[in-house]
Amino acid sequence: MAGILAPMSDTRPIGVFDSGVGGLTVLQQLHARLPAERLIYLADLAHFPYGPRYQHEVREFALRIIDHLIGLDTKLVVLACNTASAAALNAARERFDVPIVGVIAPGAQAAVEATANGRIAVISTEGTRASQEYVHAIKEANPGVGVLGVAVPELVDIVEAGAAESPHAAAILATVLDEIAGWGADTLVLGCTHYPLLRPTIDRVLDGRPLTVVDSAQTTATRVARILVVNRIGASGTAALPPELLVTAAPRRFSETAELLFGDHLPEPTVVGLWDAAATGVAR
């Protein structure tokens, strides 16, 4: 119609980061939901894993990475790591002007909407559990909901090793899921972006037992899509663009693990010198 301008297409990229390959679960969901968006993914393998580290350490890593991604003209940054979201989200929003999205609040909101009996369990790394950010986010959405936090840090290494469907993974999950069932939860939040890769094993271990599983990768992609619309910064078109991959160390390990876990051949990652890699002890 004459006199009405079509919305402009914002072709600036969206930045996404994690300490390893786990955040690729978020990248996959973003890519599927927003095919026209340019995506940049940064894996901080120089400091992997974030889970056992002190919060102040993770905060400094995250703020430096966000600063780097914003320097690449990103229009929005996703902390595709629960530990980083817990440690750095508030500080990042105070420091930077672009929208910063974490993975905790979307998962918490989805869990509150899903629970029928008001009992929600969250499995995560130790850093995320200790931060109590999921408890705060879930209670903010509904103060009457009970929350059980269970740290299962060994699952991150199992996923990174490509053993998400192994008997070892199943044995650990069986113990954890029995504890959750005994507490009476009807909803489980996968509080680490590595954990959606364990979903087939979780379903196998549950063997039909009723438990609603909330995947923060899906809920985060939904929130990002909404933010793009509200702020009118979405890209137009339908062509699926390949993501740009960056690592702070170990590019070969990243490629091998990513291909093993996701099956698809991904572009070769570029090493970015954010830290003194020689001091980290990480092999390339």
The packing angle between helices 216-230 and 24-33, to 10°, is 50
* Phi, psi of 80, rounded to the nearest 5 degrees: -85, 45
User: Catalytic site residue 225?
Assistant: no
Catalytic residue among 21, 24, 65, 81, which? 81
Phi, psi of 273 (to 5 degrees): -90, 65
Q: Which of 192, 224, 247, 266 is catalytic?
A: 192
DSSP secondary structure letter of residue 278? G
The residue whose two tokens read 């160390």 is: 249
3-class SS at 39? strand
Residue 237: per-residue pLDDT: 78
Q: Residue 6: its pLDDT value, please?
A: 47
Residue 266: pLDDT band with limits 50, 70, 90: confident
Question: Could you tell me the residue ranges of all domains in the chain?
Answer: 14-102+219-279, 104-216
Q: Using one digit for the tens of pLDDT, what is the confidence trace for 82-104?
A: 999 999 999 999 999 999 999 99
Residue 27 one-letter amino acid: L
- Calculate what percentage of the chain has a pLDDT beyond 70: 93
71/90 Cα distance (integer angstroms)? 20
What is the spatial distance between Cα 185 and Cα 192, in angstroms, rounded to a whole number? 18
76 is annotated as an active-site residue: no
Per-residue pLDDT, 7: 57
CATH topology of domain 14-102+219-279: Rossmann fold (3.40.50)
* pLDDT the model gives residue 2: 45
**HSE-up of 20 (CA within 13 Å, CB side)?**
24
Cα separation, 242 vs 265, in Å, equals 11
Q: Where are the beta strands (DSSP E) in the chain?
A: 14-18, 39-43, 76-79, 100-101, 119-124, 146-151, 187-191, 212-215, 244-247, 270-271
277 has a pLDDT exceeding 50? no
Whether the per-residue pLDDT at 168 is higher than 50: the answer is yes
What is the model's pTM? 0.86
14-102+219-279 shares its CATH topology with 104-216: yes
CATH code of the region 104-216: 3.40.50.1860
Over residues 53-70, the pLDDT tens digits come to: 999 999 999 999 999 999
Residue-level pLDDT at 263: 67
pLDDT band (50, 70, 90) for residue 275: confident
